[in-house]
Structure 1
Amino acid sequence: MTPQSHQSVTQRVIADISAQARYAAQKHKAGKLGLTVPDAFVRGIRHLGYRSNVEAIAELVDNAIQAYAEHVDIVFGYEGTESKKKPTQIAVLDDGHGMTPDMIQLAMMWGGTHRENDRSGLGRYGYGLPCSTMSIGKRFTVVSKVAGGLAKQVTLDLDELNGGKYTDDDGDTVIPSLCDAQIPDFLTDYIDRFYPDGWNSGTIVLIEKLDRLDWATTLGFAKHLNRQFSVTYHKLLASTLISIDGDPISPTDPLFLNSSDLLCQIDDDRAVELEPVKFDVAMSGGFGKVFLRYSYLPPSFASIDKNRDAVGLNANERFPVLKDYHGIIFSRNGRLIDCKTKTPWTTFINNDRYIRIEVEFPASLDELFGVTTAKQQISVSPEMWDRLREAGLVKAIEQLRGRVRSLKSERARTPAIAPTFERSNPRSSIGRSQPTVHSEIQQKGAPPSLLLRTSSGALGINLAHPAFGGGDQPDPVALQDALEALLHVLDVRGRERSAARRQIISEILSDWSQSLDPDLSSIANILSP
């Protein structure tokens, strides 16, 4: 960060803290700090309708980014359990400018924000913190401090709310009391490890009594957070580092135009960019620039074996991004909001996964794009669809489709030579690879091995092995038969061994199932003997 930009951020931080003070003074002067709604509303707000826990956590990340945090950490805790398979606590920790003590109480309120209608950042409604936390657990604590101040906290527990703990003598439901911060051990240990200069300012949102988790394991939750946040915040990760239990998230441009992204480096296939388009939009009370980006991908882009389509085990690490962000991607102030598969003129089908389109717009145009309070989806107005058409969006879609069709026809006429694939992501699922001179298992002159490791360290199936048709093998084993044989061995050995061994096998197979398709239901219930 340059001295000039650092000074600019410092000035904005001072202005933001001052705005908090003015807002808090106004609210406290008005009298009692109520939740503004009955406790029935608080119970009902848990069903606001987040698509998943990931979108709920994103609300807290948005708040941290808007507080000029350079680091945002999602940390899992396991208080009350000896197992680390499933969390009992989730914390979002940041090193932003923090909140004054009075503001912490107001931040617990639905609509309690000094940024109401602020179009400069990611949030402007004041619903994100209480709505997102209550959608995951029945208890949440907000700990915060400004530079040079003491950390204070407020806790809201839904069970205690129902028991009348937050009801005053007049029968009104009020904000819980402010007290000195009591940061749990797992977070103090984390801060000691990853904040060597100490936690000098920022906010911690701790969620407990987790009764609405979408994933049965920490591994599954962390995987979805990583994959979705890598795309959602890919433009913002350069200024704010987001980590999950200490592991930084790497950016993934869903148009695959950033050659430094890890998913762009797994093989030689590359996206082709079309000329971007920018146009101005003026409306009553607002003005903004809309930016259109376009790219198209070769039909082998998501395949391991480039001669075949990206189906099943032949899909590489890029395929989930193509699948999840299929259609027109809409980003607001640099943060991805929604992806639309239907427009007034066309509907995107599976073959359209290889055309990539993004519409970037500022928050000043929220009304035209119909941004929802939870920032999960948009409802584009007819006026804006017309403006997008005038900017050439319809013609661009047809042009992109034509180029992908041409590439598919060319591939059908001249099949590519199957290259050697090396998976650069050490967490990627086991894939099928051709042998390489760098293999750690298959060395020159050694007997052929069923498995191999590429130079990147990924474990793969050696398709050159005689069992799979390599050499002169007349009757190769089908991969489906090989998979069934492996499952049979795991099943038999798991039943013969200890309960601990059965548990390990069950977890491995559950993780394997999720790696093939995160939307699959858990298979753990059929793995027990």
Structure 2
Amino acid sequence: MSYVRQSAREPDFGPVLDAQRTYAASRGQRSRFGLMVPEAFVRGIRDIGYRSNGDAIAELIDNALQAYADRVDVLFGYEGTTSNKKPMQLAVVDNGHGMEAEMIRMAVMWGGTHRENDRRGLGRYGYGLPCSSVSLGRRFTVISHVTDGSFRSVTLDLDAITAGDYTVASGDIVVPEPVPAELPPFVRRHIAEAYPDGFRSGTIILVEKLDRLEWTTAQGLRDNLCRQFGVTYHKLRGEAALFVDGTFVEPIDPLFLTPGFHLVDLDTDRSNPFDPVRIEIRDPESNAYLGAVTLRYAWFPPSFGSIDKGRDAVGLNANPRFSILKDYHGLIFSRNGRLIDVQTRTPWTSFINNDRYIKVEVEFSATLDEAFGVTTSKQQVTVSPFIWDHLRAAGLPKAIEQLRNKVKEAKAERRQEALSPGAGEQRLSERAMTIAGAMGVAGGDQHQWNLALRVSPYRLEYEHLIGQPFFRVGREHGARTLHLNTAHRFFEEIYDSRMSTPELRSALEILLFSLGDVMLEGPEEDRQRASDQLQSWSKRLDLALGMLAEHLSVGDGTDVGVSAWSDELP
């Protein structure tokens, strides 16, 4: 697929390049282009702690977007090997405004950016390019050119630093001067195909000596990067087209609310939104406007991650949505439209596996970085009490509980449909109770046991009544009816738990039918006393099952389902 830059979108790069020249002249003179730190820092910076290869590469994509690129490619190179199974080189190519020679030299340095402390875009510190590059491999090269310029490059090799190749007479470790660049063949081929009218300006970050790739195959790396970038940049897809190893990255809204985005219309299941909430954050002393926070909410039906809608998303029954539900589980934090963190704990609640079917996004502006505790690598937030108070006041805790209740109600409805017999069919427990009743009344008359000759006097139904007993009985339509309350813990954690079987459920139904028989017989005074006891018994049962669930909560960390995007790990 050939993607050509639209000239109508091209901004005036002159002011940007002027800012680069001013910055390079002033800072370069003062720092003597030194790395400013001992070589131990350069080796140690590799362990800065990127959560994944995707988080590291995202730093380079951020830079490309801030350079006004409208196409960004992550390329795999296989030069030096006869196999295409695992890449030997990785390059991020963008068609942004590019960098002049001296700015390329500054960009290799930690902290070298003319956008220092800029709150309008994605970057602030100038650490992303070198940190992310060395977290992937031991050598990286920055190649760039501006309009009407030629390719220049600067290479930083960690092995060469250790060997003293960059150490000058004064003992300083100095970034090499820019030199004319020759593009690697796989990058040159890509540019010729993607830009048939010419590559007018842009930057290439080439990473070699790849020794920290997490995925053992190119396919696994490509598929997982496409999935991660699809979610991370889904709000910024109007800015640039993004490709990984030639594959277009489809935008994925983790709340599955954006029409036309990937997986939204995978099947007939749909995401259910709550109304978004916008919060203005102001200085508590001066009342000055600091920034805005937007909360988005969604909940999914219990079959949302399943292929066969009648079963849970377990094993091979997990559809491609399930990996998104699992990986983006908790509060999703986005900064200036770019997803940066997901957290499962808040001051008032924690997200467990059952909460995968609810989603909450907290979108904030970069002017609130300090209040959200955004890290240098832009992959984690440490929310301040000041912000938590605003989120609480905006109704976030209540909204989370409402989302959970929606999912619980949907699960109860789904279970009720699954457990209800078809038209004209009887449950096993209803059949057994009818036979037992016939035996007691007919004194052993076998003909009375034939259910085909009589209407069953027992019937089971479901209801969802919060705060009511876990069952009740009554005489309705000529039958003794047992009502099971799907809102009580008894239903979910005993009757319809994962460990329950059809045989166990039938036995429990017979137990409750039998208790109901006794409760319905006798004088009115005895029936009222039994009803009061049932209310007390249900409350105690709910409390005890809740305590049991807390003791067994360690099991909530166990994963079920296989990610449809998974690939072999090393």
Q: Confirm or deny a common fold (TM above 0.5).
A: yes
Distance 1:371 1:133 in 2: 20
Pairing of 1:144-223 with structure 2 (within 5 A)? 144-223=144-223
Tell me, yes or no, if structure 1 residue 255 matches structure 2 residue 255. yes
Tell me, yes or no, if structure 1 residue 399 matches structure 2 residue 364. no
Counterpart for residue 325 of structure 1: 328
Q: Deviations over 1:58-106 (max 9, x none)?
A: 0000000111110000000011111000111000000011111110000
Distance 2:564 2:246 in 1: 25
Counterpart for residue 468 of structure 1: none
Deviation at residue 29 of structure 1 after TM alignment = 3.0
Match of 1:413 among 408, 416, 419: 416
Is the CA contact 1:255–1:294 (under 8 Å) kept in the aligned structure 2? yes
Is the CA contact 1:292–1:360 (under 8 Å) kept in the aligned structure 2? yes
Counterpart for residue 104 of structure 1: 104
Distance 1:520 1:412 in 2: 35
Deviation at residue 30 of structure 1 after TM alignment = 2.3
Structure 2 SS opposite 1:174: coil
Change in CA separation of 1:66 and 1:416 when aligned onto 2, cut-off 3 Å: farther
Distance 1:176 1:126 in 2: 18
State which drifts further: 350-359 or 281-290.
Answer: 281-290
Counterpart for residue 340 of structure 2: 337
Which residue type is aligned with residue 117 of structure 2? N
Deviation at residue 519 of structure 1 after TM alignment = 7.8
Distance 1:87 1:208 in 2: 10
State which drifts further: 261-270 or 326-335.
Answer: 261-270
Tell me, yes or no, if structure 1 residue 295 matches structure 2 residue 298. yes
Q: What root-mean-square deviation, in Å, do the aligned CA atoms of Structure 1 and Structure 2 show?
A: 2.0
Distance 1:286 1:154 in 2: 42
Deviation at residue 200 of structure 1 after TM alignment = 1.0
Deviation at residue 222 of structure 1 after TM alignment = 1.0
Counterpart for residue 452 of structure 1: none
Structure 1 SS opposite 2:210: coil
Structure 2 SS opposite 1:231: helix
Q: Deviations over 1:130-149 (max 9, x none)?
A: 00000111110000111111
Is the CA contact 2:152–2:180 (under 8 Å) kept in the aligned structure 1? yes
Distance 2:38 2:116 in 1: 22
Change in CA separation of 1:43 and 1:514 when aligned onto 2, cut-off 3 Å: farther
Change in CA separation of 1:45 and 1:102 when aligned onto 2, cut-off 3 Å: same
Deviation at residue 164 of structure 1 after TM alignment = 0.8
Distance 1:28 1:57 in 2: 27
Counterpart for residue 10 of structure 1: 11
Which residue type is aligned with residue 271 of structure 1? S
Distance 2:409 2:199 in 1: 55
Deviation at residue 330 of structure 1 after TM alignment = 0.4
Change in CA separation of 1:8 and 1:383 when aligned onto 2, cut-off 3 Å: farther
Distance 1:383 1:326 in 2: 24
Structure 2 SS opposite 1:413: helix
| Superposition misfits of 4+ residues, deviation over 3 angstroms | 5-9, 283-286, 513-522
Which residue type is aligned with residue 377 of structure 1? Q
Is the CA contact 1:142–1:154 (under 8 Å) kept in the aligned structure 2? yes
Is the CA contact 1:306–1:416 (under 8 Å) kept in the aligned structure 2? no
Structure 2 SS opposite 1:192: helix
Counterpart for residue 133 of structure 2: 133
Deviation at residue 514 of structure 1 after TM alignment = 8.5
Counterpart for residue 355 of structure 1: 358
Counterpart for residue 388 of structure 1: 391
Which residue type is aligned with residue 266 of structure 2? I
Match of 1:305 among 300, 303, 308: 308
Is the CA contact 1:312–1:516 (under 8 Å) kept in the aligned structure 2? no
Change in CA separation of 1:115 and 1:149 when aligned onto 2, cut-off 3 Å: same
Q: Deviations over 1:329-384 (max 9, x none)?
A: 00000000101110000001111111111010010000111100001111100110
Which residue type is aligned with residue 34 of structure 1? G
Deviation at residue 34 of structure 1 after TM alignment = 0.4
Counterpart for residue 19 of structure 1: 19
Counterpart for residue 467 of structure 1: none
Distance 2:281 2:379 in 1: 23
- If the length of structure 2 is used for normalisation, what is the TM-score? 0.72
Distance 1:376 1:210 in 2: 22
Distance 1:7 1:95 in 2: 14
Counterpart for residue 226 of structure 1: 226
Is the CA contact 2:372–2:381 (under 8 Å) kept in the aligned structure 1? yes
Change in CA separation of 1:416 and 1:262 when aligned onto 2, cut-off 3 Å: farther
Structure 1 SS opposite 2:275: strand
Counterpart for residue 142 of structure 2: 142
- Greater Rg over alpha carbons, structure: 2
Which residue type is aligned with residue 379 of structure 1? T
Distance 2:92 2:562 in 1: 25
Counterpart for residue 501 of structure 2: none
The percent identity for this pair of structures is: 57
Counterpart for residue 62 of structure 1: 62
Deviation at residue 415 of structure 1 after TM alignment = 3.6
Change in CA separation of 1:87 and 1:6 when aligned onto 2, cut-off 3 Å: closer
Structure 2 SS opposite 1:242: strand
Is the CA contact 2:322–2:564 (under 8 Å) kept in the aligned structure 1? no
Which residue type is aligned with residue 145 of structure 1? H
Distance 1:209 1:316 in 2: 36
Unaligned runs of 5+ in 2: 1-5, 421-560
Counterpart for residue 319 of structure 2: 316
Alignment size in residue pairs: 422
Is the CA contact 2:322–2:563 (under 8 Å) kept in the aligned structure 1? no
Deviation at residue 227 of structure 1 after TM alignment = 0.8
Structure 2 SS opposite 1:359: strand
Deviation at residue 517 of structure 1 after TM alignment = 7.2
- If the length of structure 1 is used for normalisation, what is the TM-score? 0.77
Unaligned runs of 5+ in 1: 418-512, 523-529
Distance 1:515 1:311 in 2: 10
Distance 2:564 2:392 in 1: 37
Distance 2:565 2:294 in 1: 33
Change in CA separation of 1:15 and 1:9 when aligned onto 2, cut-off 3 Å: farther
Tell me, yes or no, if structure 1 residue 375 matches structure 2 residue 378. yes
Which residue type is aligned with residue 362 of structure 2? V
Q: Deviations over 1:230-281 (max 9, x none)?
A: 1000011122111012211000000000121220122111011111100111
Structure 2 SS opposite 1:125: coil
Counterpart for residue 446 of structure 1: none
Which residue type is aligned with residue 154 of structure 1? V
Is the CA contact 2:337–2:363 (under 8 Å) kept in the aligned structure 1? yes
Change in CA separation of 1:77 and 1:164 when aligned onto 2, cut-off 3 Å: same
Counterpart for residue 266 of structure 1: 266
Structure 2 SS opposite 1:135: helix
Distance 2:7 2:371 in 1: 34
Which residue type is aligned with residue 518 of structure 1? S
Tell me, yes or no, if structure 1 residue 123 matches structure 2 residue 123. yes
Distance 1:514 1:217 in 2: 18
Is the CA contact 2:299–2:407 (under 8 Å) kept in the aligned structure 1? yes
Is the CA contact 1:307–1:416 (under 8 Å) kept in the aligned structure 2? no
Distance 1:274 1:32 in 2: 55
Deviation at residue 14 of structure 1 after TM alignment = 2.8
Distance 2:569 2:167 in 1: 42
Deviation at residue 53 of structure 1 after TM alignment = 1.1
Which residue type is aligned with residue 89 of structure 1? Q
Is the CA contact 2:320–2:564 (under 8 Å) kept in the aligned structure 1? no
Deviation at residue 52 of structure 1 after TM alignment = 1.3
Distance 1:6 1:389 in 2: 47
Counterpart for residue 433 of structure 1: none
